[in-house]
A = this chain, B = another copy of it.
Amino acid sequence: MRKIAVLGFGTVGSGTVESFYYHKDKILKENALDTDIKYILDLRDFPESPYNDKVIHDFSIIENDSEIAVAAELMGGINPAYDFTKRLLKKGISVVTSNKELVARHGAELLILAKEKNCNYFFEASTGGAIPIIRTLHDSLSANYIYKLQGILNGTTNFILTKMLDEQMPYKEALKLSQKLGYAERDPTADVSGADSCRKICILASIIFGKHILPEWVTTKGIEKITTEDAAFAESFGAKIKLIASAEKERDSDKIFITVEPHLVCNGNQLSHVSDVYNAVMVDASSAGRLMFYGSGAGKLPTASAVLSDITAALIANGTQNVLLWEDCTDEIIIDSKTVKRGYYLKQKDTDGQVIYGLSEEEITDKYDNIISLIPILE
């Protein structure tokens, strides 16, 4: 029997194991599979867990067990996940992961390695949680050129911004509430600074453009400076403030405009209606036109749903599926966001030191003194 190993028994790992057994009959029957979870790798023991008999502490057991056909790397972080992933792929064991940091950093290399070893590296759970976006972009939209992709890719910041708008809750209070509800980590920097969204838009951009885009090339701004006054201004303007991750290809060139920034999203845009911890990805494709995919962007069971769809796909696949390869490239393909003309919401101090709000459709130059914030408008 071709079996499964789960690496990491934290929130996503335990969700994956529980969800596998809860849905096992359906998964096996509908996909004509016969499989089981053989190992769970973790440093800890879990005497309370019904799955403790599967827990092991030595990675090499998995690596050297020829029954293992697919491993779910749910540890997060670069090390030792990167090393483990390479060692598994080298053995021809497919790896599926929720590890956005690793995919954004080493995705191109790991995809090539999987192809060389005729197995698969899948990462549906790395971006958009339960939303089936990775496979959709590659498989369902294969007969499309995708020019533009914009999304709300971080549930914590979307929750905070929703509270700031709907309940005029100040930023710090909304952040505390999101921590209390378990959405934000104790150190929320990766969420609120935009770094988490940045990794995810890098993964999505690499898929649609076929080039490995690195996080440090992306103009990334967080939501830390957004105030309830900004949120109220947005509402009066018929818009909402959302942290938008955006990737767009210039027509007739290889240049890519990629940013993570708060935007004033007008109410006519579907993304303005995505509230609370939900995520959404909007795609403009050559044949399919405009599409949007909406769902839970994180959480134990939604992420497990994506991990298990990848495990199933890896077990069904006979050799490398989805020839998803990203060429290496340099940051020369990235368009400097300062050179792009956009409409802005502008907050500045006037000559008397008063804060004033307004809109600007002009190019932003030095003539605007005392700018506190400049937020692009998304129609």
Contacts and interface: CB of A to CB of B under 8 A. Distances in A.
A30 interface: yes
A247 B142 CA distance: 30
A141 interface: yes
A19 B124 CA distance: 27
Copies per assembly: 2
Of listed A27, A145, A288, A305, residue having the most chain B CB within 10 A: A288
Contacts of A30: 138, 142, 323-324
A130 B309 contact: no
B304 A287 contact: yes
Contact of A140 (B31, B135, B287): B135
Contact of A305 (B130, B141, B296): B141
A304 to B, nearest CB: 6
Interface in A306-341: 306, 308-309, 312-313, 316, 318, 321, 323-324
A181 to B, nearest CB: 15
B287 A323 contact: no
A187 interface: no
B23 A286 contact: yes
Contacts of A370: none
Contacts of A285: 130, 305
A291 B288 CA distance: 19
B289 A270 contact: no
B304 A296 contact: no
Given A273-B270, A287-B23, A139 B296 contact: no
A140 B309 contact: yes
Contacts of A215: none
A142 B323 contact: no
Contacts of A286: 22-23, 301
Contact of A130 (B31, B289, B323, B324): B289
B287 A144 contact: no
A161 to B, nearest CB: 17
Q: Which of A27, A132, A313 has the most CB of B within 10 A?
A: A132
Given A294-B270, A323-B31, A20 B143 contact: yes
A26 interface: yes
Nearest to A23: B143
A26 B142 contact: yes
Most buried by B among A131, A135, A292: A292
A310 to B, nearest CB: 9
A141 B138 CA distance: 17
Residue among A15, A135, A296, A305 with the highest chain B CB neighbour number at 10 A: A305
A301 B19 CA distance: 38
6 contacts: A26-B145, A30-B142, A31-B142, A135-B139, A143-B304, A270-B294
Given A27-B142, A285-B305, 8 more contacts: A19-B143, A19-B287, A23-B286, A26-B143, A30-B142, A139-B312, A141-B309, A270-B273
